[in-house]
Amino acid sequence: MRYISTRGEAPALGFEDVLLTGLATDGGLYVPESLPHFSLEEIRSWRGLPYAELAYKVMYPFVEDAIPADDFRKMLDETYSVFTHKAVAPLVQLDTNEWVMELFRGPTLAFKDFALQLLGRLLDYVLEKRNQHVVIMGATSGDTGSAAIEGCRRCEHVDIFILHPHQRVSEVQRRQMTTVQGDNIHNIAVKGNFDDCQRMVKESFGNQSFLGGKTQLAAVNSINWARIMAQIVYYFQASLALGGPDRSMAFSVPTGNFGDIFAGYLAKKMGLPISQLVIATNRNDILHRFMSGNKYEQHQLEHTLSPSMDIMVSSNFERLLFDLHGRDGAAVKDLLERAAKGPVSIEDYRWKHARKLFDSDAVDDKTTCDTIREIYEQNEYLLDPHTAIGVRAARNCRRDSAVPMITLGTAHPAKFPDAIAESGLSVKPQLPAHMADLFEREERYTVLDNNVSEVQGFIAKHWKNA
């Protein structure tokens, strides 16, 4: 399988190169040249498979040119064996035909573990094979950083530099990143917001001269295709658990960078019956404003109780725009260049095509807290603020009550005690046993100005072979 850029100018690459490259040389994102498609009969035959085996069925077509089947199966077995629930992604029922899929049973208590535990193993495999070293540079709004560090910290051929917005992630999220010890792990707190961090990462991938030609950058953000690939699997898992593919499913997805919900869009294109995808956002609602009114316009970023979605520039939205424009890279490049200067819209027929599958909602902090309290009082089930936004959006946007609605539970509530307290509940979410001493561990991070040259200089100085 070959991978092409959403901006149409970079060369097509194989899986290994896409894994290590992240951002294409033309500034675009890599997507498969063509997608595998599974028949209903084939999907039906996967019922009852363990999660790792289902992951193999769904993902192997994307990597088969680069990784032998037995090696990939071993990676998947190792990846999902560290999750704390045998089902890996268990479903919890909230109401008639309404479910939460718990994606926080991995080592860092967030859905990012599904992809980043695998990404670390993929990097180790490919870099060992090539005898190559890379520098991972990533930006996080909260959860990607800890999952990336946990997934990649044992990689022998990797140095990790994670940028997070200073004082704009929860304390648990920060400590999960900054208490992991290792000479190859570097946390940078940027005096800015997530979009500033993400911009620095993209700019650095576009010009890597600050590394002096001695190594290259690799991506762990969802610009890396391997991240998206791994997230497709749990859509199949949820469907098969609730009667799919013989009935359609609807999903509500808390999202800021559009990666998790784009994986659901791909699952549908690969043959899984999905009738609705709900984009659930907070006050940083650029995706909602586009999907509800065909206007893509950046506003000032706001700090909310759901910090992992405090994002205004949604990188993976470019991958959807590429499809909506008939995979015309030049058209996408032109649109995004105009979007950087002011509001843009797309042709009405393209927007209406997207609306056949997608709905959206924006949920403010008060409603988030009301939802946390309401669900707990109804079910004694505690939601984190991001999942609460997903549940509220699902209820506001649901098209058909006969279709199962599954909200992706993206994080453990213990990561966001301030939001739980603000909801008025007296219950205090507890960290799992393996994190019980998190607040006693020593932290290590460096605070830097919102300046790309300063960040690049720090990386150039501190990677192990500098």
Where b means 16+ CB within 10 Å and e means fewer, 218-229 reads: bbbbbbbbbbbb
For the segment 277-284, the average pLDDT, to the nearest whole number, is 97
Average pLDDT, the chain: 95
For the segment 292-299, the average pLDDT, to the nearest whole number, is 95
Closest to 200 measured CA to CA, from 183, 185, 188:
188
Tokens representing 125 are: 């495999």
Residues with Cβ within 8 Å of residue 26, at least 6 apart in sequence? 5, 7, 8, 9, 10, 329, 333
Split at pLDDT 50, 70, 90, the class of 116 is: very high
Is residue 244 over pLDDT 60?
yes
Give strand pairing partners of 362. 281
Which of 37-51, 212-226, 409-423 is least confident? 212-226
Which residue has 């209406």 as its token pair? 352
Give strand pairing partners of 91. 101
Max Cα separation, the chain?
59
Closest to 250 measured CA to CA, from 279, 288, 222, 230:
279
Is residue 466 over pLDDT 80?
no
| Dihedral sign of CA atoms 434, 439, 441, 445 in order | positive
Please state the domain extents for the chain: 87-110+227-422
Amino acid at 285: D
Which residue has 């990797």 as its token pair? 158
Amino acid at 89: A
Cα(438)–Cα(199) distance, rounded to whole angstroms?
30
Split at pLDDT 50, 70, 90, the class of 437 is: very high
Residue in 112, 268, 333, 415 annotated catalytic: 112
pLDDT at residue number 55:
98
Question: Which top CATH class is 87-110+227-422?
Answer: alpha beta
Cα(7)–Cα(333) distance, rounded to whole angstroms?
5
Where b means 16+ CB within 10 Å and e means fewer, 77-99 reads: eebbeebeeeebbbbeebeebbb
**pTM of the prediction?**
0.93
pLDDT at residue number 153:
86
**Are 223 and 199 spatial neighbours (Cβ–Cβ below 8 Å)?**
no
For the segment 216-222, the average pLDDT, to the nearest whole number, is 89
Q: Residue 454 — left, alpha, or beta (φ > 0 → left; ψ -120 to 50 → alpha)?
A: alpha
Report the alpha-carbon angle 87-435-422, nearest 5: 90
86 included as an active-site residue: no
Is residue 173 over pLDDT 60?
yes
pLDDT for 445-462, tens place per residue? 999 999 999 999 999 999
